[in-house]
Each structure stands twice: as C-alpha cells, then as structure tokens.
C-alpha cells in the first residue's frame, strides 16, 4: 500500500482504526512510518485550516484530546465519526461509470514474500503483581530501571 500511495501527491490518507479479523489496528501507524508522515489515531473530528488540521481524538473513559497535525498526514479514523449518507440514484449511476485503477505489484517493485508471521494468538493469563517502589524519586527510578532490565527484560 505504501508503495502505491508514494506515487500519488496526497495531502491526507485515511485508514480505519481496526480490522475485523484480528483488530491489530496497525495499518495507519505502519503506513505513516513507511511514508514518513505524521500520524494520529482514534480520530473523531477533523477541521482543516490551511496546511494543518485540528483533530479530536477519543481517549479512554469518555475523555477527548484536541491536537494539531500538519499536512500531509495519515489518520486512523474511529467508527462513528460521521453519519451514514446514502447515495442518490444519480450518484450510483455515476459510480458505475467510474474507472477503478488497478496497479500491478510488479510495477511497484515490492517483494511478494511475507514480512511477518503470527506465531501464536492467546488470551494472556490474569495475574496481579503490583509492587510499590519506595524511597526518594532517585532511588525509586533506580529500582524501576533495574526491574525493567532484569525482570521485565524490556530495556
């Protein structure tokens, strides 16, 4: 997708938030990275003002965040952003006459080999392991770094 989009002079690429199969929600994020463009997710409202946009993002627990984003950009849209508009008969007839462009993979110079593989899908086991780090902020930060290095092994 990114190879095909790079050939276009685009201002805005809109993607859905999640797929219906696994719901990973990575299409917009990955496209933005491959296109080297700014990205925002869970968008509920868009206002374009010149070369920038004012965006309303949906957060958890009914909260919203208002941010600005320059154009061109990639946005992942939350369902329910707009009301469904049904096509008129005139619009349906016009759509039937529109040409749908197809792009051969060979023209994009992209590999046909898979770049990822799902090894396992599972429900994580629920565990409750809360630990409070005490001491001065510097001591607590040191303890946190140690736990991230040696217990969680994420750094």
- Encode pLDDT of 103-144 as tens digits: 888 888 888 888 778 888 888 888 877 888 999 999 999 999
DSSP state of 51: T
| % of the chain at pLDDT higher than 70 | 99
Please report the pLDDT score of residue 41 as a whole number. Answer: 92
Which CATH superfamily does the domain covering 2-108 fall into?
Answer: HUPs (3.40.50.620)
Residue 127 burial by CB count (10 A; 0-12/13-18/19+): exposed, middle or buried? exposed
pLDDT at 30: 92
**For all residues of the chain together, what is the average pLDDT?**
89
Return d(Cα 3, Cα 34) in angstroms, integer: 9
Cα–Cα distance, 135 to 13 (Å, whole number): 48
Query: Is the CB of residue 60 less than 8 Å from the CB of residue 18?
Result: no
Domains of the chain, by residue range, sit at: 2-108
Instruction: Compute how many other C-beta atoms are within 10 angstroms of the C-beta atom of residue 129.
Output: 5
């Amino acid at each position: 997708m990114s190879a095909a989009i790079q050939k276009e002079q685009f201002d805005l690429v809109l993607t859905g938030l999640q797929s219906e199969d696994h719901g990973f929600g990575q299409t917009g994020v990955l496209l933005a990275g491959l296109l080297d463009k700014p990205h925002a997710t869970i968008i509920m409202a868009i206002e374009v003002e010149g070369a920038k946009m004012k965006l309303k993002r949906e957060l958890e627990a009914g909260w919203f965040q208002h941010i600005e984003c320059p154009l061109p950009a990639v946005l992942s849209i939350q369902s329910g952003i707009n009301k469904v508009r049904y096509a008129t008969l005139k619009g349906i007839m016009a759509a039937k006459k529109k040409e749908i462009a197809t792009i051969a993979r060979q023209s994009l110079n992209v590999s046909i080999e898979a770049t990822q593989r799902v090894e396992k899908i599972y429900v994580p086991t629920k565990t409750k392991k809360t630990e409070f780090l005490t001491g001065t902020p510097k001591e607590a930060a040191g303890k946190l770094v140690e736990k991230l290095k040696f217990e969680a092994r994420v750094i």
